Each structure stands twice: as C-alpha cells, then as structure tokens.
Structure 1
Amino acid sequence: MKLSNIITKIGSVILVLMTFSCDSYLDVNENPNNPEDAPISGLMINSTYESANNVYRIGDITSNYVQYLASPNPASASDTMEPVSNNNTWFSLYNVMTDLVVLIDKAQEQGAAHYQGAAQILMALNLSMGVDVFGDMPFSESFNFETVTPKYDADEELYGVVMNYLDAGITNLQGETTASLGDDDFIYSGDVAQWIAFGNMLKARTMIHMKGLTGYSDAAVLEVLDKAFQSNDENAQVSFFEQSINPWADVARDNADLLLGGWVSEQFIQALDGTSFESVDPRLKLMVGTTDDDAFVGTVNGSGRGNAPEQGARSTLVEGQYYTSITSPILIGTYSEQKFIEAEAAFETDKPRSYQAYLDGIKAHMEMLEVPQVEMDAYLTSPSVGIGESAFTVDDIFKEKWVALFLHPESWNDARRFDYQYKDMTLPANLNPDLSGQFIRRLSYPDSEVSRNGNNVPTVTLLDRIFWDVE
C-alpha cells in the first residue's frame, strides 16, 4: 500500500481499534459496540492491521528461543525458557479471530465474496499461529457467545480447519463479488490475485510443517507453490506510518532511550560474522547495529551483559534499518520463505530444483534488504554458500531460512522441526531446570485461561510437542 493511502486511513484505524474491535469468547455480556454492527470495511482494516501485529507479538516471544535476540539481564525468563503467561498474545489472537468470524458472516450475507475470502485466509493465519505455539486451543465453541468455558479442540484437528479456511478463501477470492477490496485492505490494497497467491503460500507453509507425518506429500507442496508468490513484489506485509510506528522500531527506540530490549544474540552474530561459517554475510550490517567500537558483539542467551555493563558494548536492534525503521513493514509471508519451503519439499525428489530454490531464497532476501549486487554475488558464490548441488544438504536450507526469517515466528516452527540443530546453537545459560537440558517445545497456557477455563485447559509441560513436532 502506498504510504499516502496508509496515512489517510489512520483515523479509520484508530476508530476501529477503539470501537469495532470485538471482545473474545471470554466475554458474553451484551456489548453496545459489538462489531456485528460494524461495516465490513472497518473490520477488514482492523483484521489486516492486527494480524500483522500478531506476527510481531509472537515473534517478540520466539526470537529469544531461536537466538535472534537475547536479554541484557542474566537468567531472564525469555532467555532461559521459563514458563511465562502470554495473556496479551492469547487475547490478541482471539480478538482478531472474533472479528474475522463476524467479517466472514457479514461478507457472506452481502455476497462480498472477496472480503469473505480474504477474511478466511486471515483466519487461517491467526489460528495456525496460535496452534503452532500453544497446541490445542478452543475454537469450535469459542465464537457463539454461549459459554465462557469452551472445550479445547485438538491441534491436529485445528490444522484441518486451517486448511479448510485456506481452500475456501482461495475459492471465494476467485468468484464473483458484490464489493471489491480496496484501501481498507492494509496488506494488498485490494489486489485479489496477490491474496490468492498468499493463500497458496500459507497452504505450503502449513503443509511443510507436517513433513514426516502420514499423508504428507512433497509433490502436493510443490504443486501449491506453483500457484503462490512469483517475486518479492507479492510479499504479504503491512507497512506502518509516522503515527503508528513499526513495533520493532519502537523496540529499537526504547533501547536507545535505555529501556533495554532488542539485544542481539551471540549465536546470530557469530553465524553471520565468519565465526561459525566461513563466509561473512553482508546482511549482518543491514539487520543489526554495531557496538560503540563499531564491532558486532552479541549477548549470550541467559548470561546477559556479563562483563560489559555499558549499553554500547553489545549489538542491538537500532533505528533506521530494514526491520526497524518507523515505516518498515511487518512481514507476514515472503517470497524468500517460500523459496526455502520449495527447497525443502524438492530436496529428496528433485535436487537441482531444490538447490536453485535455496539460492533463490537467499537472493530474494538480499534483494529485499537491498544488499549491493557485488556483495550479493560474492556471498552466493562463496565456498560455504555456493557449495554446489552434490554437497548441498538440508542443513544448508534451514540455516539460510533461519537468517531470512529474522524476527519472524515461523522461525521457531522450523527450529523445532529441525530439532534446533543449527551449527553452534547451544542451550542458553541458566536454563530452566524443568527442561532437563532440552530446548523448549511450546508455550504454556495463559494464566487467564487456567483461572477461567481450568477444567478444559490441557495439562502440558514445556517439553510436550505440538502434533507436527515429531521426534
């Protein structure tokens, strides 16, 4: 969306956030501002905007687990993988999904098939994000306002719901409509072809999670990918504006004001600076800041600042870079991620296609960050990256995808599927002893759920796996 169009919508966004945003299933009292009275345009504004914010909210949690970020404080719960109540993230997911239930119903009633289709794809996005981090969730009884203690549906069953929403959404986007999407769509400004491509990209993302399970098919993933993104121009993202800045820019700004956050993990620095791998990655300087001595120095997860108490002695997110400028987009799904999905799906049956997709994924991410061509070419042909088809392994795919998914919650899904086997990735210091020397596999359920719906909340530990996280 053009920045000018976004700015003209700021008043609408504020109105939607204050008036139309629906209560979650936990509140069944009559609400005079219930979004059943909201126009589908206002619901679309809020749903696209808040879906992107949900990507940030979950990424803010998981970025420490995959060692993009590290806490400056020793033994911080975010680093040491302690159980934390994620009430706000849980409610944010349900608030968006509740709005989407209303939007889908109203769009269907009005024959606005394109609104309905886009809303169904957003429902699949938010539901899948919730299942991927929490597992079983209330869904089938969550939006009828008949109970405050809905049952939990099984995570595997909810993945079937996700796929059904994606299929229905794509179908509706391909049909006739009484109302066309426009600037109330903060992701694609009403471009239906791009919504269809995004729906197929999300299908491929969802399907690749189930690799190794009965019924999974590499060929089916590749078939879906042929109908997905064709370039970075189709990336699913929401750009921000001066009045409502990118949340990662806010983290960087707060850190500069000594409200510490956004410190970069030593693992990430060393994976890109030539320590863990032979090649120095030119993206590093475009993704994180340097120390006061103009060096890249990371923070050890779980150890905090150690013997470097001064803020400028460690690399952090800094204002003004691709991920941290005020108007930077929140990336929901990218062409780069898609190419790495293709590389993984094609690896066993079509290694030439897999290797080319791997290289294309790196290139797409570098082009997005505007890496100079000479630096891009040097990296792609370096011995540890342009390794040739015969030496190419799945490990190479996961490593480069980890870099390209910087700050994105999908990276934690990959880390668990890959069993955290990234080169030189070690457990954080002061690890939660309940994890018995293992990496975390899921989030704990929010305290609010335990107190309100405790009889239905599954009994799980942080080591219990989501259904697709096979050993």
Structure 2
Amino acid sequence: MKTQQFFAVLGLAGLLLAAPACSDDVLDDIDTNPNRPETASLRLLLPQVETDAAFGISGTELAWYSSVFVEHTTGVHAQFEQIDKRAPGAFVSNVTNNNWSNIYATNLKDVDTIIRQGSIGSEAGSWRYVGIAKILKAYVLGIATDLFGRVPNTNALQGASNLKPTFDTQESVYASMQTLLDEAILDLDKPSAATPGNTDFFFNGDPAQWKKVAYSLKARYANRLSKRDAAGSATRALAAAAQGFTAPTEGWIFTRFTTASIGENPWYQERNDRSHLAVSTTIYDLFTTLNDPRGGLLVDTIPGGTRVAAPNGTALTDQGSVLYSRASPQLVNATAPLPLMTYAELKFIEAEANLRLGNRTAAYTAYQAAVAAALAQQLVPPAAATAYLAQVSVSPGAAGLTLSNIITQKYLSFFVYQPIEAYNDYRRTGIPALHNPEGAPPRRFPYPQNELDNNRLNVPATSPGSGVWWDDGTED
C-alpha cells in the first residue's frame, strides 16, 4: 500500500512539473465543455427575455390578480376566489415570491446581460440588441414599480457583490425608465454590428417599429403621473405620442404562441388547467348598459346557451365553468395574440392628455380613433362598430367628452389581456366604479416573503391599502 501511495505521489509530482510546458490556452480548452458555454449569445438571450416579458410577467399571476382587483374577472376557485372575497391572509407576501424572482433573477438579469454584452462585452457594437433590451428593461421595471412601489434599481442585479440592494424611490425609477427609453431610441439609430432578425419575436429587428414602441411607452409613463403633475405629464405624453404608433395596424403585441402545451397563450392555459376566473358582472354590465357588441362576442355562454357573469365578492365556487361565463374562445385561445401596448391605448392617452390641457377637439378626435381601434382589435365587425359609435352614450361630442368616457372605454378595451393597465388607471382615476361588497381592491402588491427574509432592512414597510407614489404622493 505504501508503495502504491508513493508512485501515486510521484506521478502527481511529475504532472505538476510538466504543467508549465502546457500553454494556458490548452489548459483552458481542457477545462471547458464545448456543449455547455458559460455565456449565452445575444441571439439566444433576446427571444427568451421577449417571451418572458409577454408570457411570464404580463400574462400570468400579476395580470390575473389585477384582473380580479379591477373587476374584469371574478375569482371563482382557489386563491383567486379567496382574494376576490378579501379573505384574511389571502393576499400576503408569499403570493408574489415567484413573480418577484422572475422579474429580478430571470428577466432583468438577462436583459442587463444583453445590454452589457452588446455594448462593451463580447458582442460589443450590437446596438440593435442593446436598444431593444433597454426598452424591455423599462417595460419590466414599469410593471414592478407600478405594482409594488419602491423597488431595487440602481443597486440591483449585482449578484454576489450586493445581495441586499436598496429600494429606489418610485419617482427615481420612473425617471430611470424614461432615460432608458431615450437611450434606446439613440441606440437603435446607431450602426449595429449584429441585428436580431427572426430572433426578435416582435419586429424581426426593425428599429423603426421598436422606436415607436419606445415613444409609445414614454407617453404611457408620462401620462401615469397625472396626479403628480397634471399639465406637465399631459404635455410630455403628447410630445412622445406624436412619435409613437401611427395606425391601428401598429402596436406591441406578442403573436408567437403555439398549440404546443408549453407554447400556448397563458390565459388559455389558465382556463384549461385552473379555470379560476369568470367574467365579472362589473364589466359585463357595462357592456350591456352601453349596448356594446363586445358583450356578445367576448363573453362565452354557459351550458344551456346563456351568459351569466359572476358577482365579485359573492360568487359561488365554479371551477367547472357551469355557473358563470368565461371569456369567449374567440378572445382566449391557444394562439391568441397578447398585447403589451396598442395603438388604441396610445390614442386613449392622447385623448386624456388633451382633455387635461383643455384641447377638447383634439381630445375627442383621439378618443373616437381609440374606441374604433379597440373595437376592431376586439373582433367587432365594422357595421356593429359603426352602430356602437353612433350612440350618444359612447360619442357625446367634443363639448360633452369627460374623463369617465375616456377611461371607461379604455377599461373595456383592456379586456381581457391588459388588466395591469386597467388596474393602474383605476388607482389613478377611480374609474370605473367597482362593486365588490367586500371593499375596495388593494392599492399595491405586497413585497415577497423571500425578499423580506433575505433583505428585510431594505424592504419598505407598507400595507396593501397604501398607494404608490404616483397614486398618493408618498414614497413609503
């Protein structure tokens, strides 16, 4: 045994003595598995973060909770029924763990990798990728801060070098989002060493379309600050909107869902796998009161052929979809497109901003264009759309146009895929009237338990009943 140990040590010594004869490059190659690269290329990262922004961040729990809160839908089973009925302990810190992790540990981390790698890293000069990534970062940060309030930003995404980031004020996060969008517009104009092509799931790398997305988002985020700076926010929103989407055929819409089980529209997956959400009486009654053709097109029937909406706060459990209507298969199906921002939304923003500034004629023109675009997007036939728009309750004229007209129609246009924006508008304007007898919805989402466990000293002390900065003016 000792002899064997000796030769083993001798052999090891020989290897150590011989090691200097090997070049560093050879040793690096020996230690590298070519089938497991340490860094992903921009072409691999971009489709991943785009899909995640549409599916995981805009299309799942954050949207479903918002949908119940703003009464697009009613929770009729499991956690969504409990949240709808304001059950104690239903909407607490553990419900947002996965969403927070997806935002920070997955999406924003990969987005920052694209920005760094495409600007100064291994694929430097890939400005088309960098510009798109900055737009995506602004969008995802926007969802995070709109729902949670103060969030990590300047000290976030630093890995092991800073595991306990501080939380930036929402005011500063909003300024950062606008800066990212400004930088993205400039980056998209630069000559690019590489272009995304078909790895860009939205526009095949077309910089002109991405710039319109950036300007449209700038208008959205400017208008969001209506309670903080009424005139200034309107002026900035209109300046940005002028360079945003220019036709109903334009918009930022994810259209790459498939019929494969892992590639389906997330709302379709929710309906098939969980069926926790039914159409709310609040929105269905609005459709009915306004003689809105969308009530018959976007709301499905129950067995027996009737449409029955679910009352928020008092609905019976109905996972089997036999008591209450769901969104129709025309609207929610495996390959249905999922909008992140539309031309209709941009025109509603223009209408609201002009109305705030007293520009009634411009406001009414934008409002009518917004409603018409929303109807077309939501599958309403042209003749039915024309009849709908002819009603005084829908088209009151420039002198009669109110903020309630604009936000109500915008609320209807967001059904079913943009409830986060409907929730943001409700907190900002109080429109439409909600009817849950258990009380008003939360005004923010709770910080996740994982963050409280690991970074408690930096997590703001808040309650779901307190507004975010653009809502109530405080930075709690």
In the alignment, which residue of structure 2 is the partner of 1:37? Answer: 39
Q: Whole-Å Cα distance in 1 between the matches of residues 423 and 205 of structure 2? A: 31
Residues 73 and 303 of structure 1 are in contact (CA less than 8 Å); yes or no, is this contact kept in structure 2?
no
Instruction: Give the 5 Å matches for 1:362-441.
Output: 362-406=371-415, 407-408=417-418, 409-419=420-430, 421-423=431-433, 425-426=434-435, 428-429=436-437, 431=438, 437-441=439-443
In the alignment, which residue of structure 2 is the partner of 1:122? Answer: 136
- Per-residue CA deviation, residues 98-124 of structure 1 (Å, 9 max, x unaligned), is 001100011102101111000000000
Q: Whole-Å Cα distance in 1 between the matches of residues 300 and 472 of structure 2? A: 37
In the alignment, which residue of structure 2 is the partner of 1:48? Answer: 50
Q: Whole-Å Cα distance in 1 between the matches of residues 197 and 319 of structure 2? A: 50
1:172 aligns with 2:187: yes
1:252 aligns with 2:271: yes
- Structure with bigger helix share is 2
Residues 36 and 102 of structure 1 are in contact (CA less than 8 Å); yes or no, is this contact kept in structure 2?
no
1:316 aligns with 2:319: no
Q: Whole-Å Cα distance in 1 between the matches of residues 319 and 48 of structure 2? A: 41
In the alignment, which residue of structure 2 is the partner of 1:29? Answer: none
User: Which amino acid in structure 2 is aligned with residue 61 of structure 1?
Assistant: Y
In the alignment, which residue of structure 1 is the partner of 2:85? Answer: 80
1:73 Cα offset (Å): 4.2
User: Which amino acid in structure 1 is aligned with residue 283 of structure 2?
Assistant: F
Structure 1 gap segments, 5+ residues each: 1-31, 432-436
Residues 136 and 155 of structure 1 are in contact (CA less than 8 Å); yes or no, is this contact kept in structure 2?
yes
Q: Whole-Å Cα distance in 2 between the matches of residues 212 and 92 of structure 1? A: 30
Q: Whole-Å Cα distance in 1 between the matches of residues 457 and 37 of structure 2? A: 30
Q: Whole-Å Cα distance in 1 between the matches of residues 43 and 172 of structure 2? A: 31
1:200 aligns with 2:194: no
1:149 Cα offset (Å): 1.4
Q: Whole-Å Cα distance in 2 between the matches of residues 388 and 302 of structure 1? A: 36
1:454 Cα offset (Å): 1.2
1:165 Cα offset (Å): 0.5
Residues 265 and 298 of structure 1 are in contact (CA less than 8 Å); yes or no, is this contact kept in structure 2?
yes
Instruction: Give the 5 Å matches for 1:232-311.
Output: 232-239=248-255, 240-243=257-260, 244-254=263-273, 259-274=274-289, 279-305=290-316, 311=321
Q: Whole-Å Cα distance in 2 between the matches of residues 34 and 118 of structure 1? A: 26
Q: Judge which range, 163-172 or 232-241, deviates more.
A: 232-241
Q: Whole-Å Cα distance in 1 between the matches of residues 253 and 422 of structure 2? A: 17
SS of the residue corresponding to residue 204 of structure 1 reads helix
User: Which amino acid in structure 2 is aligned with residue 231 of structure 1?
Assistant: A
Residues 204 and 221 of structure 1 are in contact (CA less than 8 Å); yes or no, is this contact kept in structure 2?
yes
Q: Whole-Å Cα distance in 2 between the matches of residues 205 and 33 of structure 1? A: 43
Let me know the Cα RMSD of the aligned residues: 2.1
1:294 Cα offset (Å): 2.4
Q: Whole-Å Cα distance in 1 between the matches of residues 38 and 113 of structure 2? A: 6
1:34 Cα offset (Å): 10
SS of the residue corresponding to residue 253 of structure 2 reads strand
Instruction: Give the 5 Å matches for 1:146-225.
Output: 146-214=161-229, 216-225=232-241
1:326 Cα offset (Å): 1.0
1:59 aligns with 2:63: yes
1:253 Cα offset (Å): 2.3
Q: Whole-Å Cα distance in 2 between the matches of residues 221 and 343 of structure 1? A: 10
Residues 119 and 125 of structure 2 are in contact (CA less than 8 Å); yes or no, is this contact kept in structure 1?
yes
- 1:367–1:131 Cα change, 3 Å: same
Structure 2 gap segments, 5+ residues each: 1-33
Residues 114 and 172 of structure 1 are in contact (CA less than 8 Å); yes or no, is this contact kept in structure 2?
yes
TM-score, normalised by the number of residues in structure 2: 0.84
User: Which amino acid in structure 2 is aligned with residue 283 of structure 1?
Assistant: R
- 1:229–1:36 Cα change, 3 Å: farther
Residues 269 and 296 of structure 1 are in contact (CA less than 8 Å); yes or no, is this contact kept in structure 2?
no
User: Which amino acid in structure 2 is aligned with residue 80 of structure 1?
Assistant: K
- Per-residue CA deviation, residues 229-285 of structure 1 (Å, 9 max, x unaligned), is 01232211111112201011112223xxxx4323111111111012xxxx3111123
Q: Whole-Å Cα distance in 2 between the matches of residues 377 and 63 of structure 1? A: 28
Corresponding residue pairs, total: 420
User: Which amino acid in structure 1 is aligned with residue 460 of structure 2?
Assistant: P
- Per-residue CA deviation, residues 365-400 of structure 1 (Å, 9 max, x unaligned), is 111123111100000011210211221111000000
User: Which amino acid in structure 2 is aligned with residue 207 of structure 1?
Assistant: A
In the alignment, which residue of structure 1 is the partner of 2:10? Answer: none
Residues 198 and 236 of structure 1 are in contact (CA less than 8 Å); yes or no, is this contact kept in structure 2?
yes
Q: Whole-Å Cα distance in 2 between the matches of residues 296 and 184 of structure 1? A: 42
- 1:144–1:321 Cα change, 3 Å: same
Q: Whole-Å Cα distance in 2 between the matches of residues 383 and 144 of structure 1? A: 55
Q: Whole-Å Cα distance in 2 between the matches of residues 79 and 283 of structure 1? A: 24
